[in-house]
Amino acid sequence: MPQPLHELPQEDRVYRMRHSAAHIMAEAVLELFPGAKFAIGPPIEHGFYYDFELSRPLTPEDLGAIDERMRATIAADHPFVHREVDKEEARRLFADQPFKLELIDGIEVDQMSLYEHGEFTDLCEGPHVERTGQVGAFKLASVAGAYWRGDEHKPMLQRIYGLLFEKKKELKAHLAMMEEAEKRDHRRLGRELELFTTHELIGAGLPLWLPKGATVRRLLEEFITELERQAGYSHVYTPHIAKKDLYELSGHWDHFKDDMFPVMELEHEEMVLRPMNCPHHILIYASKLRSYRDLPIRLAEMGTMYRNERSGVVGGLSRVRAMTLNDAHIFCTPEQVKAEFSNVMRLVEEAYDTLGITEYSYQLSLRDPANTEKYAPDDAMWEMAEPMLREAMTELDLPFTEAIGEAAFYGPKLDIQLRDTMGREETFSTVQIDFHLPNQFDISYIGEDGAEHRPVIIHRGVISTMERMMAYLIEHYAGAFPLWLAPVQAIVIPIADRHIEYAQKVIDDLQAAGLRVELDDRGERMQAKIRDAQLQKIPYMLIVGDREQEADAVAVRQRDGANLGALPLFQVIDRLKDEVTTKC
C-alpha cells in the first residue's frame, strides 16, 4: 500500500502536486485543441510545464480557458491510477501522438508505465497525488517557445508554465515576490529613470549609457579608482584591439576563441577586439627590466573588452558584449601571492561595504580535469595553483564552495557570487592565480640573487564590469541610489513663477557646493512635481515659496515621503555634503 500523501515529506508532496497538475493541464489542452500533440511535462522549481504542438499560437485568453478546464478536473476529484502495459499496447494508445511514440521507442524495457485520471492517460513513471482534488494552489503563468528535446533542429513547441504551491498563501507570497522583482527589474528601471538604452542598429548586448546612467557609472569608477590608488595600484590605458598573434601567444586563441569577435582584416594584418585586458598589461610589465624590489606591480585599468556572448543570453546590463571591467593584474613573486590575495579580498570587502552589498558567497572555481582541452595543459601548474587559492581562503577563515569546470583557462579563480532579485546567481568579483601567462610571455624579474625569475600574475576585478554592477545596484536599490551615487541629488521646486529667481539662486549655491541639482520650473502643480520627483527617485526635493525666499531657506522633503520642514539653505547644503562624503 503506497504511503498516503499527507504522510509524505513536504517536498515530495509538492513535487507530486506539480507533476499531477502538469497532467491535468495536458488533459485540458488536448480537450480544448483537438489534434494537439503533447510532448513532456515535468514538475520544476515553483511549478510545472508541459510542451505542446498546436495549430496556432496560444493567447492569454487560451490560458484562461485552460485554467477553467483544469479547475473542473480538480473539482471532479478523479483518482490517479497507475497501470503498466507492453510497448505494443502503448503504441496503440498513443498512435496519433508522435512525440509519445518517439519516447516509447527510446525506452529500453518492454514494460510501459502509464498514469491515468478521468479520461486522460499519459506515459509516465509517476509519482502522483492520489486524486486530482489534491493538487494545491496553482496559476498558469506564461507561454514560451521550446524545441522538442531542446534541439534547435527539431520542431518548436509551445511550453505552458504554471506556478504551483501546496497552500494558497505560498502561491500568493511567490506572486508578490515576483511582482516586487519585476518592479526592481533593472531593464525596466533603466528605461524609466533614463539610465541606459539600446538600439537595434547598434545590436544586442551593446548598451548605450544615457547621461544619468553615465553619471552613476562615473561615480562608481571614481570611487573604485580612488580605493585602488590608495591600495598601491598604478592606472594605465591600453587600446581595445590587438593583433590576433597576441592572443595566439597568450592562449586565448586556443581556449577562448568561441567567446571572441571574429577577426578584422587590416592592411594584411589580422586584428581582433580584445576579450580580456591581461595581454596588454603583461606587455606593459615587459616594457622594461623589473627587479624583485619593484614587486608587486599592480597595473589597473577600467578595461573595455568585447565578448561574443550568444544572443540568447544577453539582456539588459548584466550580460553584455561590450563591457568595461574594473580590472587589474598584479605581478608578484610566488611568496607574495597570499598577501596580495588577502589585500584584494580586503579591497572587495571595503567596496561592498560602501556599496551596501551585504549578501554574497565565495566560490572556488577549479578546472575540470576530465575536460583538459579547455585549459592550459600544464598539470603541475594546476596542482600548485588550486591548493594555493584553497589555502589562502582557509587562512582568511572564509567559507566557500568549490565549482569544478569554472576556472579560467589560465588558472583557478576565487569568485564572489551575488544574487539578483529573481534569485539568479552571477559572478561579480574575481581573483585569479595565473602561472600560465607569465610563461607564455616569458616575463621575468631580477631576483636578489641576480638571476631571472618568473613572476606570478593575479588577475582581479573588484566590482566586476560597470555593466554588471550597475544592473545589480539598480535592482538592489530599486533605482533609489544613495545620495553619493544619485544622478540628480536634489530638485528645486518653486511654488509659483515669482519664486523662480530665488530657486535659481538655490541651484547656484548647491552647484557651487558640488551637488547635482535640477530646477523643476514646469507649470505643473506642486503636488504633481513632488510626485514626479519621487517617481524619478530623486533623494531631496527642495520647495521654495514666499516664506523660504524671505528666510533664505528651503522646505525639505525626501523621496520616501519624509517632510523635514523649512531649513536654512546653508544647513541643507552642509547636510547633503556630509551625506555625500560619508557615502551613507
Rule CB under 6 A: which residues touch ligand TSB? 276, 278, 307, 309, 319-320, 323, 325, 327, 329, 427-428, 430, 459-461, 464-465, 467-468
Nearer to Zn ion, 278 or 388 (CB): 278
Residue 557: name its binding partner from ligand TSB, Zn ion, none (Cβ under 5 to 8 Å by kind). Answer: none
Angle (CA) 424-273-407 rounded to 5° is: 45
Could you say which of Zn ion, ligand TSB, none residue 16 binds, taking C-beta under 5 to 8 angstroms by partner kind? none
Q: Which is nearer to Zn ion, 321 or 459 (CB)?
A: 459
In three-state secondary structure terms, 465 is: strand
Shortest separation between residue 280's beta carbon and ligand TSB, angstroms: 11
The residues near 236 (Cβ < 8 Å, ≥ 6 apart) are 281, 284, 299, 300, 301
Helix (H) or strand (E) holding 37: strand 37-38
Q: Give the shortest CB-362-to-ligand TSB separation in angstroms.
A: 13
Element housing 212 (H / E) = helix 211-230
Q: How far is the CB of 45 from ligand TSB (least distance, A)?
A: 24
418 binds, among Zn ion, ligand TSB, none (CB under 5 to 8 A by kind): none
- The dihedral formed by the CA atoms of 437, 441, 445 and 447, expressed in degrees to the nearest 10: 70
| Residue found by looking up cell 582557509 in the block | 394
Pairwise CA distance, residues 458 & 436, whole Å: 11
Residue nearer to ligand TSB on the CB measure, 97 or 324: 324
The residue among 18 and 459 lying less far from Zn ion, judged by its C-beta, is 459
Choice between 78 and 436, CB closer to Zn ion: 436
Task: Choose between 33 and 352: whose C-beta lies nearer to ligand TSB.
Answer: 352
Nearer to ligand TSB, 67 or 309 (CB): 309
Q: Provide the 8-state DSSP code for 150.
A: G
The beta-carbon contacts of 355-361 under 8 Å, at least 24 apart in sequence, are 355/463, 355/469, 355/473, 356/476, 356/477, 356/482, 357/418, 357/472, 357/476, 359/418, 359/419, 360/416, 360/417, 360/418, 360/428, 361/399, 361/400, 361/401, 361/416, 361/417
Given a contact cutoff of 8 angstroms between Cβ atoms, the answer to whether 479 and 473 are in contact is no
Report the 3 state secondary structure along 225-291: HHHHHHCCCEECCCCCEEEHHHHHHHCHHHHCHHHCCCCEEECCEEEEECCCCHHHHHHHHCCCCCE
CB of 258 to ligand TSB, least distance (A): 13
Query: Which of ligand TSB, Zn ion, none does 320 bind, CB closer than 5 to 8 A by kind?
Result: ligand TSB
**Partner touching 461 among ligand TSB, Zn ion, none, CB below 5 to 8 Å by kind:** ligand TSB
Q: Give least dist CB 426 to ligand TSB, A.
A: 7
Evaluate whether 99 touches 105 at the Cβ level (below 8 Å).
no
Could you tell me the end-to-end alpha-carbon distance of the chain, in angstroms, rounded to an integer? 62
**Nearest distance from C-beta of residue 461 to ligand TSB, angstroms:** 4
Residue 128 interaction partner, one of ligand TSB, Zn ion, none, beta carbon < 5-8 Å per kind:
none
Least distance CB 281 / ligand TSB (angstroms):
8
Distance (Å, whole) CA 252 – CA 258: 10
Q: Tell me which of ligand TSB, Zn ion, none is bound by residue 323, counting a contact when its beta carbon lies within the kind-specific cut-off of 5 to 8 angstroms.
A: ligand TSB
- For residues 458, 463, 464, 465, the Cα torsion angle rounded to the nearest 10 degrees is -130
Residue whose C-alpha cell is 525639505: 556
Q: List residues bridging with 326 in a β-sheet.
A: 302
Q: Which is nearer to Zn ion, 123 or 276 (CB)?
A: 276
Tell me the C-alpha distance between 450 and 287, whole Å.
19
Smallest separation (angstroms) from ligand TSB to the CB of 466: 9
Q: From the CB of 458, what's the least distance to ligand TSB, in Å?
A: 9
Cβ nearer to ligand TSB, comparing 159 with 319: 319
**358 contacts 352 by C-beta, under 8 angstroms:** yes
Q: Which is nearer to ligand TSB, 24 or 348 (CB)?
A: 348
- Identify the CA nearest to 31 among candidates 54, 57, 56: 54
For the CB of residue 156, give the shortest distance to Zn ion in the complex, in Å.
39
CA nearest neighbour of 485 among 494, 493, 476: 476
Interface residues with Zn ion (CB under 5 A) are 278, 459
Rounded to a whole number of angstroms, the minimum distance from the CB of residue 505 to Zn ion is: 50
| Binding site partner of 307, from Zn ion, ligand TSB, none, Cβ cut-off 5-8 A by kind | ligand TSB
Closest to ligand TSB by CB, 357 or 495: 357
- Closer residue to ligand TSB (CB): 51 or 467: 467
Interaction partner, residue 281 (ligand TSB, Zn ion, none; CB < 5-8 Å by kind): none
198, interface contact from ligand TSB, Zn ion, none, CB < 5-8 Å by kind: none
- Which residue has its beta carbon closest to ligand TSB? 459
DSSP bridge pairs for 297: 331
The C-alpha cell of 136 is what? 494545491
- Provide, rounded to whole angstroms, the least separation between the CB of residue 428 and ligand TSB: 5
Type of residue numbered 396:
L
Binding partner of residue 186 among ligand TSB, Zn ion, none, CB cut-off 5 to 8 Å per kind: none
C-alpha cell at 251: 592562449
- Say how far apart CA 453 and CA 415 lie, in whole Å: 28
| 428 contact, one of Zn ion, ligand TSB, none, CB 5-8 Å limit per kind | ligand TSB
